[in-house]
Structure 1
Amino acid sequence: MENLTVTGLVRLIGAGATMIYVKTGNERHTEQIVSQAAGRLRGVGAPYVWTCTGGFSRNGEVVEGITDPVASLDYAVAQEGPLLFLFKDFPWFWGDNPYLIRALKEFALCGKAKAIIVIGQDEGLPPTLREEFVVLHQGLPSMDEIRAFFAQAAARDVHLAKACRERPGLMDDLVVAAQGLDFTDLERGMRTARASGETGGDGFVRAMFETKQASIRTSGIMEYVVNDVTPGQVGGMENLKQWLARREQAFSLEGISSGENLPKGVLMMGIAGCGKSLFVKAIAATWRLPLIRLDMASVYDGTFGSPESSLRKAFRTAEAMAPCVLWIDEIESGISTQGFKAEGGAASRILGSFLTWMQEKRAPVFVAATANAIEMLPAEIIRKGRFDEIFYIGLPDAKAREEIFRIHLARRRVAPETFDVPLLAGSTKGFSGTEIEQAVLSAVFEAQAEGRSMTQQDLMAAVSRTVPLSVTMAEQIKKIEAWAFKRAVPA
């Protein structure tokens, strides 16, 4: 579906298109684009705008108070062209109105030198009208449009202008922070910064990130993840850390952050609790990219439309926010060979949409997918070319367990040097990183309950009370390890 732009709209109407449908979530921005396009079309002048409450208006003044949709089309046909009409509320009426459907078809035949643009929030064109309409999508503002918005805002807002003078790179930071937001969201973010009193450079940037987080949260399908994890907070995984560092060296951190040289993606599979999700956060933080999490359960539950339309919406959101990291957690819960049998056609279409997008996407979206049971994934997902690499994250070895203990002790403001960390690592063979963290937490709580500092004995007691997953699910873990032995790169 082509995005709506001023140039594209002028080209379409100039080529003879008389009926155009625009799927948009921002009527005001769409009306601005239509008005700009009308100004470029010879002899057209300002567009006529119709609503079901006020009828026709032009340049903000009421021209004809015709609120009936069929009568409004009769009025449009009767006017001498060239003219451009923008109808805002038609989709509410054409569902079961054969008179309106027929009037639109007749306009397509009789509307010489005139064009109508219908806007709506859904892609629900009646089947009988699909051949008559050219369908466009109102995309989110481009980086150039966002930059122009902030340039205009700085001319009006003395606080923003002062912040830009004091911090030369502020405009670039604002543009990156605002990617994926509509103009109404940008204005809301500016008001939030002023209302909070944080009118310095950091305050404006923070307001944009908070607005973006709220905007993505309301979509339901996606989640903006607040992230401050670094690779230093991840114990072990030396191969994966080296892979991340080599990508930085090959593409440069500046190139990755700008989206010019972003790798395609990585798939991390392995045992639950071994740090897959943590490392996804580390990738986004290291490359200074926003992290968006896609919930596959929300894609399938139908709250936001069909699974296919929900997935398309998620991809468009990710591309609008690019460069970014798209985190698909437990990808096998939404795309699996078993899902084809249970879900039927929907699962097959989801797989097809995902594969096509991964292969054809041009926007710098790095896909970081995690899976606990990679054997459930279709072969098309894990073949080379979809992801840059597939890593297997197994249970940490003794050296990695030492690192994990030191990380969690330091996080609790306990000096690791006061503990026999090698002994702790040796006594936790078969423990995952999460199980080690919970043992440390349990020891901290026990010590706090008695009003004293944590000791080595507290940690050893907590370890002895823990039955690791490698014991309770030994057969399943051995099966995963056997599958990954020659099929994935050890992390």
Structure 2
Amino acid sequence: MAESFRDVLGQLFKARFPLLYIESFEEQRVIAEVTAVASDSAQVRTPRRIVTWSRTEGLRPAEGADKSATTEAARALDVIVRRDEPTVYIFRDLHADLGDGHRPPNSDVVRKLRDVAAAFRVGSVARVLILVSPVLRIPRELEKDLTLVDFPLPGERDVRALLDRMIEANAGSGRIRIDVDDLGKEKLAKAACGLTVSEAENAFARAMVNDGVLNDDDLDVILEEKRQTIRKSGLLEFVHVDTNLSFVGGLENLKRWLDRRKNSWLAEAAAYGLPAPKGVLITGIPGCGKSLTAKAVAAAWGLPLLRMDIGRMFAGIVGSSEENMRAGIRIAEATAPCVLWIDEIEKGFAGAVSGGGDSGTSARVFGSFLTWMQEKTQPVFVIATANNIDRLPPEFLRKGRFDEIFFVDLPTLLERVPIWRMQLQRRAAHLVSDEEFVTRLGQLSEGYSGAEIEQAVIGALFDAYAERRALQPEDLFRALTTMVPLSVTQSEQITAIREWADVRAVAATAPEDRAGYTATGDGFLPGTPIDTSNWPAGTDPSIAAARGGRTVDF
């Protein structure tokens, strides 16, 4: 088990580490924790007083130094290096003097920090300087003197305690109705993990006042607060989803696998001995529902969906790309439990495979991501999608990175029929009642992806709209005949993908949905005519003949 912040800080105090750096927005919570350690005889042998500094307040308490004389960082450092008593000095927002990628650090401040480190390391009394800042900036000159200390965001226990206090404070007011059980409280607390104390408090307060009731439905309010936090970072995108797994046609094998892992991040699953699932890699033919599945899983599980654009991680300043990846991972872990979606991941890490042109930046960023995937303990469920398997590094596919690799093929007949039904229900509900007609559409669209079926419906709607009339069956048949699907234009690539997946991935389609398939497709043999005698009047029978002769290798 990882050591707590207090344990780590107590060890650093006793070991007389002179210069510490804590990256956090919650400076008041940091000061409270540091004060608790500095005054705890079980953590430190010599209790130490706390003195804080900021550019607006100077040293507090000043004790002999004029406040106005210590608002300048260099002068404040001169003061503390001369004091000789057990003290913890906490300097807030000193990063402004430590430079960034566009401007150099303040040389006087850097030099005095090195003087402080040298004096505190060998002094006769216990002294330490802690820099607290919301951003991490360490000049090269200070790399060997500074020690980084991780300060975690409030854990689930802290957030749950905050929620319980707010419920207790508002339950008797008569204005707020509390309608949430222990499981609901656990879900609300988990949803608020990743927020600061003030952000979590704001989210719970908003959840209570938006309708006067606190219940399970207020998860969306908590997620909205997270959405604000993630948008400010600029590294990840908080994706709003309004779909679920029932909107994904077919892929029953994948959907069952995902459904069995719902709520596996809760305490009940941990008590059962289950670890949180790592994630899945979904590969296959473009347009067959990989990205839609990622969105649907987040909605079905009631978790926030974060999208990581690998290209956004790369920056021009040396070292910034690696830092962006680490920051993106920290945001995802702080938002946990969540679903992290990486679309077309092979394109983002293409440089790690080719190894050219960026002085190894792609390889280092990729290495950071791989290590995190292997070692992560936070419930961040990663869904990565890929179209081109050959561009994925081999080490990315080994067990331990993902729980499973699923292959999404072109939809079978039993999968195409519900896809047609869903598309027509959304745009032409008057045609859905004819089950035989929908089945015929499924038969005629052999070799079509789900995205191509959707585009066929949209194309037919444009034709009908141009004549200002309702959509007719022959519009759909015409749209199918004029479209050349991907299974024809890229048949060689699809064959190669299938050969790769045959022994390396699990089929996302359930075995029962593949029943009756022949080597050439949905049970249609080349040249076999389709009976069109009961089709609507005016339907071109050549449509069926054109589709009946197409072969698709499964």
**Given the two structures, how large is their TM-score scaled by the length of structure 2?**
0.79
**Aligned partner of residue 280 in structure 2, secondary structure:** strand
CA distance 1:94–1:249, change in 2 (3 Å): closer
Q: 2:117 aligns with which of 108, 115, 120?
A: 108
1-structure distance, mates of 2:367, 2:173: 46
1:24 to 2:32 alignment = no
2-structure distance, mates of 1:182, 1:406: 45
1:213 to 2:227 alignment = yes
CA distance 1:379–1:159, change in 2 (3 Å): farther
* Contact persistence 1:81–1:114 (CA under 8 A): yes
More displaced 10-residue stretch of structure 1: 199-208 or 138-147: 199-208
* Aligned counterparts, 1:173-188, within 5 A: 173-188=187-202
CA distance 1:69–1:397, change in 2 (3 Å): same
* Structure 2 letter corresponding to 1:141: P
1:318 to 2:332 alignment = yes
1:91 to 2:101 alignment = no
* Contact persistence 2:283–2:405 (CA under 8 A): yes
Q: 1:464 aligns with which of 467, 481, 503?
A: 481
* Contact persistence 1:225–1:293 (CA under 8 A): yes
Identify the residue that residue 10 of structure 1 maps to in structure 2: 10
Larger Rg: 1 or 2? 2
2-structure distance, mates of 1:415, 1:448: 16
Identity level (%): 37
Q: 1:371 aligns with which of 382, 386, 404?
A: 386
Q: Deviation of residue 348 (structure 1)?
A: 0.9
Q: 1:57 aligns with which of 48, 55, 60?
A: 60
1-structure distance, mates of 2:325, 2:394: 20
* Structure 1 letter corresponding to 2:504: R
Q: Deviation of residue 289 (structure 1)?
A: 3.2
Identify the residue that residue 417 of structure 1 maps to in structure 2: 433
Identify the residue that residue 411 of structure 2 maps to in structure 1: 396
2-structure distance, mates of 1:50, 1:301: 33
More displaced 10-residue stretch of structure 1: 197-206 or 167-176: 197-206
Q: Deviation of residue 209 (structure 1)?
A: 1.1
Q: Deviation of residue 224 (structure 1)?
A: 2.1
* Contact persistence 1:402–1:422 (CA under 8 A): yes
Q: Deviation of residue 464 (structure 1)?
A: 2.5
* Contact persistence 1:329–1:369 (CA under 8 A): yes
CA distance 1:131–1:395, change in 2 (3 Å): same
* Aligned counterparts, 1:205-354, within 5 A: 205-245=219-259, 247=261, 255=269, 260-301=274-315, 306-336=320-350, 338-354=353-369
2-structure distance, mates of 1:305, 1:190: 38
Q: Which runs of 5+ in 1 are unaligned?
A: none
**Aligned partner of residue 99 in structure 1, secondary structure:** helix
Q: Deviation of residue 397 (structure 1)?
A: 1.8
**Aligned partner of residue 486 in structure 1, secondary structure:** helix
* Structure 1 letter corresponding to 2:480: V
**Aligned partner of residue 341 in structure 1, secondary structure:** coil
Identify the residue that residue 132 of structure 1 maps to in structure 2: 145
Q: 1:439 aligns with which of 434, 445, 456?
A: 456
Q: Deviation of residue 67 (structure 1)?
A: 1.8
1-structure distance, mates of 2:385, 2:462: 31
Q: Deviation of residue 247 (structure 1)?
A: 4.8
* Aligned counterparts, 1:135-154, within 5 A: 135-154=148-167
Post-superposition CA distance 1:443-479 (Å, at most 9, x none):
3454456555433223222323323222333343333
Q: Deviation of residue 381 (structure 1)?
A: 0.6
Q: Deviation of residue 349 (structure 1)?
A: 0.5
Q: Which runs of 5+ in 2 are unaligned?
A: 100-104, 509-554
* Contact persistence 1:44–1:84 (CA under 8 A): no
Q: Deviation of residue 109 (structure 1)?
A: 3.1
1-structure distance, mates of 2:432, 2:355: 49
CA distance 1:298–1:399, change in 2 (3 Å): same
Identify the residue that residue 38 of structure 1 maps to in structure 2: 38
CA RMSD of aligned residues (A): 3.4
Identify the residue that residue 490 of structure 2 maps to in structure 1: 473
Post-superposition CA distance 1:207-244 (Å, at most 9, x none):
21111112112222212223343332222223323433
* Contact persistence 1:141–1:181 (CA under 8 A): yes
* Contact persistence 1:3–1:138 (CA under 8 A): no
CA distance 1:177–1:364, change in 2 (3 Å): closer
Q: Deviation of residue 77 (structure 1)?
A: 2.6
* Contact persistence 1:49–1:56 (CA under 8 A): yes
More displaced 10-residue stretch of structure 1: 81-90 or 435-444: 435-444
Give the paired residue count: 490
2-structure distance, mates of 1:224, 1:257: 30
More displaced 10-residue stretch of structure 1: 82-91 or 34-43: 34-43
2-structure distance, mates of 1:291, 1:122: 25
* Contact persistence 2:226–2:335 (CA under 8 A): no
* Structure 1 letter corresponding to 2:341: W
Q: Deviation of residue 309 (structure 1)?
A: 1.0
More displaced 10-residue stretch of structure 1: 326-335 or 298-307: 298-307
* Contact persistence 2:250–2:411 (CA under 8 A): yes
**Aligned partner of residue 417 in structure 1, secondary structure:** coil
1-structure distance, mates of 2:48, 2:143: 28
* Contact persistence 1:430–1:470 (CA under 8 A): yes
CA distance 1:301–1:407, change in 2 (3 Å): farther
* Aligned counterparts, 1:153-168, within 5 A: 153-157=166-170, 165-168=178-181
Post-superposition CA distance 1:423-448 (Å, at most 9, x none):
11122122110111122233345445
* Contact persistence 1:46–1:58 (CA under 8 A): no
Higher helix fraction (1 or 2): 1
* Contact persistence 2:51–2:59 (CA under 8 A): yes
1-structure distance, mates of 2:464, 2:3: 60
**Aligned partner of residue 21 in structure 1, secondary structure:** strand
Q: Deviation of residue 347 (structure 1)?
A: 1.0
2-structure distance, mates of 1:402, 1:52: 67
More displaced 10-residue stretch of structure 1: 365-374 or 165-174: 165-174
